[in-house]
Amino acid sequence: MDTRKIPLLVTLSAGLSAAIVTYLGHYELKDSLITILLVLIGFYIFGCVIKLVFDKAGMTTEAVEERRKQEEAAAEEEAKRLAEEEAARLENEDGSVIEKEHEA
């Protein structure tokens, strides 16, 4: 998840809500602007805190990609190990190797 957009979305939704409330409450222009400004500042800070929580929890796109790459590398290593075990299993007791036909 792209956490860079969280403060923006939280701030804009709070600003829209504040604008609607001040309009419906028939606030004066000065009071309305001050209220909306304070709401925008407060919710921007709140959005940044949420972003930090997600970043610390490892919910960022980069962390998810890194985890996926590690899992793929582990799967490749496991596949190599299994192939080596299969090759070792195909050896006879006298040391000769039984060849398998590979179908392409």
pTM of the model: 0.56
Residue 54: what pLDDT?
87
For the chain, which residues make up each domain, given as ranges? 1-57, 60-90
Q: How far is 35 from 30, CA to CA, in rounded Å?
A: 9
* 53: Cα within 13 Å, side-chain hemisphere: 8
Q: How far is 5 from 48, CA to CA, in rounded Å?
A: 10
Spell out the per-residue pLDDT of the chain, length 104, in tens.
678 899 999 999 999 999 999 999 999 999 999 999 999 999 999 999 999 998 888 766 666 778 888 899 888 998 888 888 877 777 655 556 555 555 54
